[in-house]
């Protein structure tokens, strides 16, 4: 729940202006082990989720893409393959350490061409109106303090005919999956974080932040409220993850 002065940080209520600092601390802590932890947490399935999200974006050669909360650059790499030499991808993140890690890894892969980097807050994007053919935010919207403001900002920088793609952990569609997922999230995941990333609390926060994220239908409505049209979502892995897509008409 978000009020005028407070918002949630996991299951805790904190001051609105404090959340950005707390989230920054989480990702500063896990940046170097982020990719390894993603593989361990999802048994590698996150790579499939990301490829499906990119396919649903319908990004084509020559287009311009904004990869928000792009972190270590997995989606930027996939978008780079699609837009080709005539297109451009902007890897953006609010966290300097994550952005630095992503930039270094993309350069190491020889993918410096046609990729720009920007440290930005999704709630107030510093780009002109109608700039991008696609704006994607993967596993990042749940960490944004004002999600409605972020969706409006994404809509503003999107070209007419462009797409917003939100790939995010969501809510299981059946009770059995929900119970198994809850046990894993609150009993196993923090222990993996402790042993691999040396940070149990950050991964406990990640589990809590997923539970506080809007359910699929609610997020779809939020996207429509931001001005996006033809909004729809696609559940994956029994709703543990969902891809939401909306268009600027």
Q: Is 131 annotated as a binding residue?
A: no
**Is residue 121 part of an annotated ligand binding site?**
yes
72 labeled binding residue: yes
Three-class HEC string of the chain: CCCCCEEEECCEEEEHHHHHHHHHHHHHHHHHHHHHHHHHHHCCCHHHHHHHHHHHHCCCCCCEEEEECCCCCHHHHHHHHHHCCCCEEEEEECCHHHHHHHHHHHHHCCCCCCEEEEECCHHHCCCCCCCEEEEEEECCHHHCCCHHHHHHHHHHHEEEEEEEEEEEECCCCCHHHHHHHHHHHHHHHHHHHHHHHCCHHHHHHHHHHHHHCCCHHHHHHHHHHCCCEEEEEEEECCCCEEEEEEECC
**Residues placed in the known binding site for S-adenosyl-L-methionine:** 72, 93, 121-122
**Residues placed in the known binding site:** 72, 93, 121-122
């Amino acid at each position: 729940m978000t009020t005028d002065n407070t918002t949630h940080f996991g299951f805790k209520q904190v001051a609105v202006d404090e959340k950005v600092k707390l989230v920054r601390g989480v990702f500063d802590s896990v940046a170097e082990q982020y990719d390894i932890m993603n593989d361990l947490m999802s048994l590698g399935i996150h790579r499939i989720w990301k490829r499906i999200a990119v396919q649903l974006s319908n990004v084509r050669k020559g287009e311009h893409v904004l990869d928000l909360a792009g972190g270590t650059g997995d989606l930027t790499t996939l978008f780079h393959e699609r837009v080709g030499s005539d297109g451009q991808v902007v890897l953006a993140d609010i966290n300097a350490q994550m952005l630095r890690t992503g930039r270094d890894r993309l350069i190491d892969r020889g993918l410096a061409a046609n990729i720009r980097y920007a440290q930005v807050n999704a709630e107030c994007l510093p780009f002109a109106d109608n700039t991008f053919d696609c704006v994607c935010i993967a596993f990042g919207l749940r960490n944004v303090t004002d999600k409605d403001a972020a969706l409006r900002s994404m809509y503003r920088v999107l070209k007419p005919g462009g797409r917003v793609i939100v790939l995010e952990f969501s809510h299981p569609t059946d009770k059995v999956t929900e119970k198994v997922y809850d046990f894993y999230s609150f009993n196993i995941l923090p222990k993996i974080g402790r042993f691999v990333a040396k940070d149990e609390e950050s991964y406990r926060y990640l589990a809590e932040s997923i539970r506080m994220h809007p359910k699929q239908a609610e997020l779809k409505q939020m996207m429509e409220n931001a001005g996006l049209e033809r909004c729809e979502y696609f559940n994956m892995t029994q709703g543990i993850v969902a891809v939401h897509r909306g268009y600027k008409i």
